[in-house]
Amino acid sequence: MIIEIGHFALILALCVALCQATIPLIGVARGNYGAMLVGTTGALGQFLLVAVAMAALMHAYVTSDFSVINVIENSHTDKPLLYKITGVWGNHEGSMLLWVFMLALCGAAVASFSNNLPPALRALVLSVQGMIAVGFLSFILLTSNPFLRTATPPANGQGLNPVLQDPGLAFHPPFLYLGYVGFSVSFAFAVAALIEGRVDAAWARWVRPWALASWCALTVGIALGSWWAYYTLGWGGWWFWDPVENASLMPWLAGTALIHSSIVVEKRNALKSWTILLAIITFSLSLVGTFLVRSGVLSSVHAFAVDPARGMFILLLLMVAIGGSLLLFALRAPALQPGGVFAPISREGALVLNNLLLATAAATVFLGTLYPLFLDVMGGDKLTVGAPFFNKTFGPLMVPVLIAMVVGPMLAWKRGDLAAVMQRLWLAFAGALAAAVLAYILAGGSHVLALLGLGLAGWTGTGVLVEWADRVQLFRTGLGNSWRRALGMPRAAHGMTLAHFGLAITVAGISATAFDIELIDTVKIGGTLPLGQYQITLEKVEQQQGPNYIADNATIVVREGGTVIATMHPQRRFFTLQQQTTSQTAIRTGIGADLYVALGDPADATTWTVRAFWKPLVSWIWFGALVMAFGGLVSLSDRRWRVGVAQKFRRAPVAATAGE
């Protein structure tokens, strides 16, 4: 019964989305305010209905209702409760439902928080959101329905892929999807602006918080996924340049460019058509990513069940959404009034450079990801494009990004003085040198590129702090004065400093991976292996019974010069239902370095394969990403975005006594 309610709710959501997509458009065309308002009600109603559908499917999973095919295929009564819940989106159908749920959530958020928008613009934005919802709801209902029943329910289900039975599944996909789908809002704003034929500072101020919020979610989602891969897969890597990972990186790069170029639109009324194009491309890349992952045209470790019919359906959606919006762009964007002019050396110039580099980086990842597909379709060789390509192309592109990132914010708008800025940045040069020299002393000169990377991280980190100190006039005026200046600064400025500093942390972490020490060897119980300055002793391996697996639990003692510094318990879990083994690594995380131990296969009864790593600064990669996302949140809390507040003040000047 509950399943049918969910199913009907989803069908109703499609009907509501149809209304939401069409009626506000008619309202805008005829100037009918009531029809425009259907967008708002529709978005809220759609969210409610999709939430009911989501809850219904979740209920089926939690109660192990094996009359539902999707539950049979992906669940089992022995599965711990957490994975019964997260298993809802651990498969194609359920994850599409999560996708649509996030879309409805964004629509409802736009409907609730944009009372300050001009009614026509809001109606257009919600109508575009409705169109996207129509596409994906019909995709779910026609090709990937999670609510289908079977007349002959089996006694138990087939269980969830053991690799997915990890708390990571609870957080990684929701954040990632929120990021992907969140960009639909900036896409909708872009399409609405093209229809209206007007892009101005106010438009940029409305669209930027949405882009920023999606960017934060996507940053967290990607970082969580990378961290998950690091601790769960047992080979110590954290990024594999797998097509699906690239599919998430491309919208991130384009989205990063978008949040930067929209600053130029807001402050200087320039780069308008470029920003519109970026908003379209960012969401388009999310859609293309969805296509690549779910159509099976590329082989990837993340692949879902492959079905060409689904691929064809998504391709049609792409044609309508991307093709349509780009066509609209081609027709309407030339009419947009070009804005303010600026010299190449200026804040705008730096932001343009940032955009060019990020767009090139996204294009590079795009080419590398799709090249095997292109070649294959042409009837050429089978090949995969892997880390060597991306490291050689993507890496060098990030060097000027980091250099310019420090210089750009210190340049004045319109026309900047590069020489003067460079003089103020002497401390950043010193920071770069110090970082590189320190790394050389600690690790030697065997990895020149890594030293260079750490030097860049040092440059970026110090440079960002110098810029911030400059603004609050640290040490040039009293500390109290600086404090007051810092409080007086817009939150967005602090947010930028935080986010840029976070990137410096991540870059340091990535660069330091060159200094990893790795060890793979077999060891008898009681035997010891050397790992750098540590000695690793395999004390014992015991069998343990888990809820739905049997584990070989190793006890590994790590010593440094005779003193015990850690006792670690890596596991090998054998999931009896799926006949599949997973690795549960043991990681001792430190600020300086991680110790990472994974238990491999037994060679015989008393000999085990052990894989161990010493990874300097590796946790900085994800910590930096969190700092970036936190910077984004701080920027989001800037009162400038809460234009609604300002407008309420304007409308009711009497009430505006408190000078916020």
Partner 1 sequence: MRKLLFLLPVLAFLALATWFALALRPDHDPRELPSALLDKPAPDFVLPSLAGGEPVSLASLHGQVVVLNFFASWCVPCRVEHPILMRLAAQEKLPLVGVAYKDKVEDSRRILTQLGDPYRAIAVDAEGRLGIDFGVYGVPETYVIDKSGRIRKRFVGPLAPDVVERELLPLLRELNRS
Q: Which residues bind partner 1 (CB under 8 A)?
A: 273, 277, 280-281, 284, 291, 295-299, 308, 311-312, 315, 318-319, 322-323, 326-327, 329-330, 333-334, 372-374, 376-377, 382
Cβ–Cβ < 8 Å for 179, 219? yes
CB of 330 to partner 1, least distance (A): 5
Q: Which is nearer to partner 1, 301 or 564 (CB)?
A: 301
Q: Which is nearer to partner 1, 312 or 420 (CB)?
A: 312
Q: Which is nearer to partner 1, 208 or 310 (CB)?
A: 310
Can you give 79-108 as a three-state secondary structure string?
Answer: CCHHHHHHHHHCCHHHHHHHHHHHHHHHHH
Q: Which is nearer to partner 1, 148 or 306 (CB)?
A: 306
Cβ–Cβ < 8 Å for 279, 186? yes
Report the run of H or E that residue 579 belongs to, with start and end: none
Cβ–Cβ < 8 Å for 52, 135? no
CB of 143 to partner 1, least distance (A): 13
CB of 373 to partner 1, least distance (A): 6
CB of 272 to partner 1, least distance (A): 12
Cβ–Cβ < 8 Å for 293, 286? no
Residue 236 token pair? 């110590």
Question: Which residue in this structure is represented by tokens 């870059």?
Answer: 507
Cβ–Cβ < 8 Å for 349, 416? yes
CB of 495 to partner 1, least distance (A): 31
Q: Which is nearer to partner 1, 210 or 329 (CB)?
A: 329
CA distances from 395 to 9, 244, 445, 449 (A): 47, 19, 19, 10
CB of 551 to partner 1, least distance (A): 19
Question: Which residue in this structure is represented by tokens 């939150």?
Answer: 491
Q: Which is nearer to partner 1, 313 or 515 (CB)?
A: 313
Residue type, 28: V
Beta bridge partners of 583: 572
Let me know the angle formed at the C-alpha of 172 by 99 and 386, rounded to the nearest 5 degrees: 100
Distance of CA 431 to the CA centre of its chain: 30
CB of 396 to partner 1, least distance (A): 24
Q: Which is nearer to partner 1, 338 or 444 (CB)?
A: 338
CB of 356 to partner 1, least distance (A): 16
Cα 101 from Cα 182, distance rounded (Å): 11
Cα 488 from Cα 592, distance rounded (Å): 35
Residue 435 token pair? 């970082």
Q: Which is nearer to partner 1, 479 or 603 (CB)?
A: 603
Q: Which is nearer to partner 1, 136 or 147 (CB)?
A: 136
Q: Which is nearer to partner 1, 198 or 569 (CB)?
A: 198
CB of 250 to partner 1, least distance (A): 13
How many other CB atoms are there within 10 angstroms of residue 438's CB atom?
14
**Dihedral pair phi/psi, residue 101, rounded to 5°:** -60, -45
Which of 82, 246, 103, 261 lies closest to 164 in space, CA to CA? 82
Cβ–Cβ < 8 Å for 204, 189? no
CB of 7 to partner 1, least distance (A): 28
